């Protein structure tokens, strides 16, 4: 049978309250008593009943994270960084994937909330804020939106400067005298709109006219994104005259674009220069190392943790939604010198 607090208390000769305080890290327990209790707990293979503790304390020490997929290194790195920062303060991360399915996203959120989470972080795949978001806020569970925000839904948010991402990438291509710069854009989310806005801004700054034939929108950006990028680039290469550069919404899309360019018998960057977004850890090991805008995913995870811990320690009655934006940086590699 599972060991209980009472079993430890009897074995050590202290009260159940004392054992409970040790397990919760209270500072008013002597060092020797703490040592004995922890040793006995280890000896008895004691595992705390988190559900029972949450009923008593009102806290589960659990934070939920829902992301569009667990294959994209960007979200994996954010999750790793966030989990590491939360552990330092005694919180643990419960991770789930929506697979870019809005219905599954809501199911995953419902499931996580049933664990009596202390907070929930969501990188939503929805084009509009789900009704569940409002319900979560009404019940008082802290909610942080990650990466993707909604204009008419006030909520704590942590993300990258997407307009700047599009602007940096396109400005660099313009500085390299590229004449026909295409854009493989993402869906009409806050991210896709922001990066496209930055793309347009760079053209406007140099008073160059955009040609809509060189803009292709993808239906998905996290699941099967390499294939989506390849298909989008194949469409762009059929335009006459073909583009001599392309800015891609994400690195996986850019990798697919490079595959299409090389399979068409063209060279990167001599015939078509390519810039992605994300600066994923494998970008240097590709057939053509990828120039990319660095979103600094690990720093994003730390920003989420900082905001989250601040929320959990503040008075919810006086709080207002906050926004934290991570600066970005263009990393130059062989796909666009």
Q: pLDDT (tens digit, 0 to 9) for every residue of the chain, 337 residues total?
A: 678 889 999 999 999 999 888 877 777 889 999 999 999 988 888 877 665 555 555 577 899 999 988 877 889 999 999 999 999 888 999 999 998 889 999 999 999 988 889 999 999 988 889 899 999 988 889 999 999 899 889 999 999 999 999 999 999 999 999 999 999 998 878 889 999 999 999 999 999 999 999 999 987 666 678 899 999 999 999 999 999 999 999 999 999 999 999 999 999 999 999 999 999 877 677 889 999 999 999 999 999 999 999 999 887 777 789 999 999 999 999 999 7
| CA–CA separation, 47 and 275 (whole Å) | 50
| pLDDT score recorded for residue 211 | 93
- Widest pairwise Cα distance in the chain: 84
* Partners of 325 in the β-ladder: 159
Nearest to 144 by CA among 328, 324, 317, 294: 324
Q: Where are the domains of the chain?
A: 5-48, 57-158+297-325, 162-295
Q: What is the DSSP letter of 151?
A: T
Burial pattern 107-128, b for ≥16 Cβ within 10 A else e, equals: ebbeebbeebbbbbbbbbbbee
| CA–CA separation, 264 and 323 (whole Å) | 44
| pLDDT score recorded for residue 3 | 82
Give start and end residues of each alpha helix (H) in the chain. Answer: 5-12, 16-23, 31-43, 50-57, 73-87, 102-113, 131-138, 162-175, 190-205, 225-237, 251-263, 297-312
| pLDDT score recorded for residue 237 | 97
CATH: 3.40.50.2300, 3.40.50.300, 3.10.20.310, 3.40.470.10. Which one for 57-158+297-325? 3.40.50.2300
User: What would the DSSP string read from start to end of 162-219?
Assistant: HHHHHHHHHHHHHHTT-SSEEEEE--SSHHHHHHHHHHHHHHHHTTPPP-GGGEEE-S
Domain 5-48 has CATH 3.40.630.30: no
- 57-158+297-325 and 162-295 in the same fold: yes
| pLDDT score recorded for residue 1 | 64
Question: Is the model's pTM score more than 0.75?
Answer: yes
| CA–CA separation, 132 and 137 (whole Å) | 9
| pLDDT score recorded for residue 51 | 58
**Cα angle at 174 between 171 and 176, to 5 degrees?**
115
| pLDDT score recorded for residue 58 | 58
CATH: 3.40.50.970, 3.40.50.150, 3.40.50.2300, 3.40.50.720. Which one for 162-295? 3.40.50.2300
CA-CA-CA-CA torsion sign (168, 336, 220, 76): negative
């Amino acid at each position: 049978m599972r060991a209980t607090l009472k079993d430890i208390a009897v074995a050590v000769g202290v009260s159940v309250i004392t054992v409970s305080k040790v397990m919760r890290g209270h500072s008013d327990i002597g060092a020797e008593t703490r040592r004995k209790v922890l040793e006995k707990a280890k000896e008895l293979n004691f595992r705390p009943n988190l559900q029972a503790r949450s009923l008593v304390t009102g806290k589960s020490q659990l934070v939920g994270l829902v992301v569009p997929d667990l294959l994209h290194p960007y979200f994996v790195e954010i999750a790793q960084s966030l989990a590491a920062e939360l552990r330092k303060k005694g919180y643990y991360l419960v991770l789930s994937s929506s697979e870019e399915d809005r219905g599954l996203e809501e199911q995953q959120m419902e499931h996580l909330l049933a664990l009596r989470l202390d907070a929930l972080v969501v990188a939503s795949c929805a084009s509009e804020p789900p009704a569940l978001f409002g319900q979560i806020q009404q019940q008082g569970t802290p909610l942080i939106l990650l990466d993707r925000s909604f204009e008419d839904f006030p909520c704590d948010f942590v993300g990258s400067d997407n307009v700047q991402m599009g602007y940096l990438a396109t400005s660099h291509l313009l500085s390299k005298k590229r004449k026909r710069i295409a854009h493989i854009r993402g869906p009409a989310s806050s991210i896709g709109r922001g990066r496209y806005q930055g793309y347009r801004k760079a053209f406007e700054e140099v008073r160059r006219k955009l040609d809509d034939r060189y803009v292709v929108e993808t239906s998905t950006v996290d699941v099967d994104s390499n294939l989506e990028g390849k298909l989008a680039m194949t469409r762009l290469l059929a335009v006459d005259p073909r583009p001599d550069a392309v800015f891609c919404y994400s690195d996986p899309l850019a990798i697919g674009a490079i595959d299409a360019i090389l399979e068409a018998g063209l060279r990167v960057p001599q015939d078509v220069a390519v810039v992605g977004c994300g600066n994923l850890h494998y970008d240097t090991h590709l057939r053509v190392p990828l120039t990319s805008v660095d979103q600094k995913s690990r720093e994003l995870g730390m920003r989420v943790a900082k905001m989250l811990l601040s929320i959990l320690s503040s008075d919810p009655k006086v709080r207002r939604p906050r926004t934290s934006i991570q600066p970005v940086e263009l990393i130059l590699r062989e796909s666009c010198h």
